Every structure is written in structure tokens, then in C-alpha cells.
Amino acid sequence: MKISGICNAILWIILATFTQAAFAQYDNDERVLLTIDENEITVAEFMNVYQKNNVNNDMVDRKSIQEYLDLFINFKLKVREAKDLGMDTAEPFLKELSGYRDQLAEPYFVDEKVNEQLLKNACDRMQYDVRASHILVKLKPEAEPEDTLKAYNKAMEIRQRILNGEDFAKLAREVSDDPSAKDRPAEKNRPGRRGNHGDLGYFSVFDMIYPFENAAYNTPVGEITMPVRTDYGYHIIKVTDKQPALGRAQVAHIYKSFPNFATAEDSVRLENEMLKIYQELQSGTGWEETVRKYSDDKGTIERGGLLPWFGSNRMVPEFIQTVKTLQDSGDYSKPLLTVFGWHIIQLRDRETPGNYEEEKETLKRRLIKDSRAKKSRQAVIKRIRQEYGFEEFPGAREEIYSKLDSSFLNNNWNASVVEDPEKPLLIIGKQTYTKGDFARHLEKNQIRRGIKKPNVFFQEQYDQFAEKACIAYEDKHLEEKYPEFRMLMQEYKDGILLFNLTDEKVWSKAIKDTAGLKRFHEQNKKDYMWDKRVDATLYIVNPELDVDKVKEMVKNDAGSGEILEKFNTGDQKHVFIESGKFARGDNALVDKISWGKGISKIYEVREYPSLKSRQGIQDEARVFVKIKEKIKPQPKTLDEARGLITSDYQNYLEAQWIKQLKNKYKVEVNEDVLLSIK
């Protein structure tokens, strides 16, 4: 069961909804309201439940307080029984509770102010599309300092050449480590391909790696950035355009593709063909017809040239620019040349970005998966370090690093080689992490090193170890630090216990205990009675058949099978028959007629729409009813009322169970304290 499911179960059981408390005066009231055996329950704990289910009430109602106290006592009795049975120490329970705790704790490790700032910034950016070119100097994320400096200096030299007047696109073809920038010459079995010369086209927020996006959106059009470091290396970025965002668009197109090894003559020929196609559209030829007749995009011909929805980063720049010029659904462009061929584009639909409130939830989901989410976590780590005090011992860290030998390169390193394993490595609050703790962490994770150099991997793992230590320390103290979290966890713990035990004692038992269910039904038959009913048959006859012929057969006591066989042949159905026992309200026509034995007059089906439930019954059909007999009130069988009887049996089992628990456990209410609340 997911967290929402168990939450609903708890709500159902303890009549509480997880909302902010409205009666602050009771939050810290530690007076004992009641005891169950030796277990004391405070006013604060009880009012926490009461208040949550009465958030719309400003006053504490005496009657509702007493009613809730009765429910609360029953709830606590069941939880006490579950604990006495050892259900709170069972491994499945502990595992389930731990899973819920992890989810409930997540919001405490998010810096909401940082997140809000990131979300608003992302929303501002998504209102615009940026077009940029780049030159890449490739560099691995774990590169050594000397390699990093070398790559940076190379990027700076390239930037200076651009500032000195050299053409950006020409330089990109020559020096960029991004292979898409370069032209690919034609080969024997493969046509040539023009590179993008560094032009990445249009993009929006979340389309690029975060440092690249940051630089692009913060740089004015026409200017060149300083070298920007990402996981791919250093980028020199030139921002070439910034426009109001496309958002998402859906278009159809008529497409003429370039042949392999196309010549200049091919390009002229295709252009002329597209101009003629455009003229046909202008003269009134339908779009769908034109697509089927001319388009080379075989995959979209049957859909009228329709392409999937796309954003600004999914199409070449000139395609995006053209789509933005189309205003209304059905508008189409003049012939457009791209690197793929010639297009005529028809706009079908477009969705532009909304405001912050409209886009907030979508942006949240994208933020979680994006690298910028680390900024929120980093802010939390920084706060934890400052709040509890964080002390590191660099010497101890260096002593561990000095013990990394050739075995570490082969994933055979053993933590036991580290001397003084109990020596402190870092301290947070009252928790000390030793050299041995980190050494064991390294030993466990060394297989993940891959091709990373030992010093890079070591520092990466140390940073992760320190971060996890901070998170673990905060997580360990959530209950004592945040009373609302402590109460929420208590509610989940009690709720899961109650859910499991109630299922065993009541819900599943009522279903599985067939003998008990039958016995309960026999003892309470009078509570499950049919009202007066009538045994009747309805005959519905479509207009192509004479209804009197059917009625005559019914008068002569012909059976339903005989009638259907005579008038319904193959797939042609002219007569429909419905037999059953009807109570008042079951069928509008049966309700209308007299319940005397015999055959009714003929009615129009259109007057009783509910009769048209079967496929094939026409509006002009006619209907009559044969009343066989009236049936006196009688008890329903178990099968006829199983759902209701099972529900009542569950209530009975629960009531009996509560009686047993009240006899087993001593319940005492402090009436003076209760009166002060009332």
C-alpha cells in the first residue's frame, strides 16, 4: 500500500485528517486525560486527533468531545492489543513503517526558500526561448588540476580569437570537440552532412545542463561568455537570439526530401515543386489531399502530415521560427528550406507557458530530476553543519588516503590496513565518525571507482560520506526537534497496527468465516427483507415486427425460447425479453402498471429510456408486460444481500471485540481534566 493508501486507512480508522492544528492552546498540554492500564495519554495527544477532524469549528463542542473520546478510547484499546500481541516488533511492520518514515521525512531535507527561488527562476526562463552556439573544449569531470588548467587556457585562447574578430561558426568547425559542429564529407555509400557549426538552435529551461542554461539565459544577445564548466568540459557560448517561448506546438507538414548525394539542380527542382504545391493550396486544394499526393514523409501521410507535439529544442531553428509566425489553427507557411529538405507547415495547436501558479507543479516534477535540485540539498547540509557544529580532521583523512595502494586499483583493498581505526574523522553534534567508519565505506564502494583516479574517487566518496553523516544526524533527531513530525509518525505507527489487526479480527474474518456469517444471517433475517415484489416478464418488440403477433403467442403461454426462436433469426433481433422479480423502483414500466395477474397494454419504449439498455432496441420499439404473480414480503437469502450482511457482520464482530478489550484493559478517564476541555 502506498503512502496515500495507508493515510486514507488511518483517516478512516481514527477520524483524522492531516492538517495544521487550529487549537494551539492544547499543543503542549501534558495533563493526563486517560490511562489504559498503566499507559498515560495526554490532553495534547487526544486534542491533536480531535482538532484535525474539526478544522472548520472554532469552538470546542461538549458533545463532540465526548463522542471523540469514546472513539479514541476504542482506537487506543486496539492499538494496545496489537502491541501486546507483538505486532509492533514484527519485521514486516517495521519495514513498512520505515518506508513511510523515509517518505514523511523528505520535506525536512528540502530548503523551501531555495526551492521556491529555483522554481520562480525556472518559470521566468520558460517564458523565453534562447538560441545559442558553442565551442566545446572536452574535459572529464574528474580531470586533474593540471588538465583542467590546460583546458581552461585553451578555451580562453579560443574566446580571445572570437573577440579579435574571427568567425564563431568557422572556429567551431575547426576547433570544437563537439562532433556535431563539423561537416561530414560524402563517402562512397554515405552522403555528406553539413555540421551545425556550433549552432544548438533554440532551447528552454531544463533542456540544457544547468550551468550551460545559466550562462545562456544570463548573457545578452550577441555577447560571448567566459568559459563555462560542465560535466562535458569548457564551453564558449555565443547567444544569438532570445524570443518569447514557443511552448509546445503540434503541426502537420508537406515534406519533400533531398535525394542522397543531392546536387544544386536537385535543390532548385525541389524548390520549384514546393512552389507549385503551395500554389495548389492557395487555389483551394484541401490539405489532406495535398499531403497524400505530394509528401515524402510516408510515416505521416495517413495522418494528414501530423507530427507529434514538440518544444523549441526538438526542431531546427528555422522550423521553430516559422511555426511562431503561424497564428491560428489551420494556418500554413510558405515553402521552407531546412537541412532535411523542403516543408510547408500547417499549425494545428499550440500551448504557450502559463504563469507561476499554473506551471508550479510541473516545474516541481522537473526540478526533482534536474541537477539544480542539489542547490536545495546543499543549503540543507550547510544549515545542519552550522546548527549542530561540524568538525573535520584533515590529518585523519590523509592517513586513510596514504593507505590506498595498488590493491585499491584492482578493487581488492581492505579497510583493515588503516591504522587507529577509532581515531575521529569528523564530528557532528554528539556523533563521532571514525577513520574505520570511512575506511569501511571506501572498501564497500571501491568497485564503483571505474576509471576514476584514486584521489578523485577518494575525495568524491569522502564528500558523500560527510553529507550522509549530516543527513543521518538530522534524521535521527527529527522526532525530538519537530513535535508535528513525532505526532505524525505516532499516527502512522498506530494506524498501521490498527489496520493490520482490524483486518485480522474484523474485515477478513467476516469474509472468511462463512459459518459465522450464515449464523449471523439466520439470527437477523428480519433485518434483510424484500418488500412486495412481482414476478414479471417484459417483451420489447422492434417496429418492423407486428407486436400483436408476439402478444398473441404470450397469451397462448408460449415460452420465451419459442418466441425468440420464431422471430429472431441470425443477427437479426426483433424481440427482446427480460424476466425477473421486480420491487418498486426497479423498473419504471413495471411500477406504472397494475400488479394484477395478466398481460398489460402496449406502451412506447421511448417513454421509458431505461428499457433501451440492450443494443439493438430502437426508439420506435413497443413493449408490454406479463405479470405472473405477486410475491409477499420475505427474507433475502444470504447471496441476495451478501454485501450488506457482511458489512453488518463486520460491525457486529468489531462491537464484540471492543467489549472483550474493555474487559481486558482497565480504562480510567480523568473527569476533571475532561471537564476543563469541554
Asked if residue 26 has pLDDT above 80, the reply is: no
Q: 295 in a domain, yes or no?
A: yes
The torsion angles phi and psi of 247, rounded to 5 degrees, stand at 80, -125
Contact 250, 306 (CB under 8 A): yes
Helix segments in 85-209, DSSP class H? 91-105, 112-125, 145-163, 168-175
494 in a structural domain: yes
**Is residue 277 located within the same domain as residue 256?**
yes
Looking at the predicted structure, is the pLDDT value of residue 58 above 60?
no
Q: What is the mean pLDDT of residues 493-500?
A: 94
The pLDDT of 78-107, averaged and rounded, is 94
SS3 category, 536: strand
Structure-model confidence comparison of residues 21 and 413, the more confident one: 413
Question: For position 1, what pLDDT does the model report?
Answer: 41
Check whether residue 166 and residue 211 sit in a common domain. yes
Q: What is the pLDDT of residue 185?
A: 81
Higher pLDDT among residues 171 and 185, named by residue: 171
In a shared domain, residues 165 and 188 = yes
User: What is the structure's pLDDT at 15?
Assistant: 39
pLDDT band at 130 (very low <50, low <70, confident <90, very high): very high
pLDDT digit string, tens, across residues 448-457: 877 788 888 9
Q: What is the CATH number of the domain that holds 322?
A: 3.10.50.40
* Count: domains in the chain: 5
Residues 627 and 672 occupy one common structural domain: no
Please report, rounded to a whole number, the percentage of residues in the chain having pLDDT higher than 90: 78
- Model pLDDT, residue 48: 79
Residue 19 confidence (pLDDT) = 35
- Is residue 171 domain-shared with residue 32, that is, in the same domain? no
Residue 380 domain-assigned?
Answer: no
Q: What local confidence, expressed as pLDDT, does residue 204 receive? A: 97
111 in any annotated domain: no
Same domain, 546 and 609: yes
Q: Tell me how far apart the 2 most distant CA atoms of the chain are, in Å.
A: 108
Q: Say whether both 136 and 240 belong to one domain.
A: yes
Residues 132 and 240 occupy one common structural domain: yes
In this prediction, residue 13 carries a pLDDT of 46
Higher pLDDT, 507 or 569: 507
- Taking the C-alpha atoms of residue 168 and residue 354, their distance in angstroms, rounded to an integer, is 35
Residues 235 and 139 in one domain: yes
Task: Give me the chain's average pLDDT, please.
Answer: 91
What confidence score (pLDDT) does residue 3 get? Answer: 47
Structural domain span for residue 239: 128-244
Beta-carbon contacts of 250 under 8 Å, excluding residues fewer than 6 positions away, are 306, 307, 308, 309, 310, 348, 349, 350
Residue 580 scores a pLDDT above 80: yes
Higher-confidence position of 64 and 288: 288
Please indicate, yes or no, whether residues 513 and 566 belong to a single structural domain of this protein. no
Across the range 234-241, mean pLDDT stands at 98
User: At residue 57, does pLDDT exceed 60?
Assistant: no
Question: What mean pLDDT is predicted for residues 574-588?
Answer: 95
Verify that 646 and 507 share a domain, yes or no: yes
* Choice among 97-111, 184-198, 461-475, 614-628 with the minimum mean pLDDT: 184-198
**pLDDT score for 68:** 86
pTM for the structure as a whole: 0.68
Q: Which of 214, 244, 274 is the last residue of a domain?
A: 244
pLDDT of the residue at 298:
93
Question: Given this model, what pLDDT does residue 30 score?
Answer: 87
Residue 274 and residue 146 share a domain: no
Q: Would you say residue 92 lies in a domain? A: no
Q: Which long-range contacts (CB under 8 A, 24 or more apart) does 614-620 make?
A: 614/540, 614/576, 616/542, 616/573, 616/576, 617/540, 617/542, 617/576, 618/542, 618/543, 620/542, 620/543
Secondary structure element (H or E) that encloses residue 426, with its range: strand 424-428
Checking if the pLDDT of 146 tops 60, the result is yes
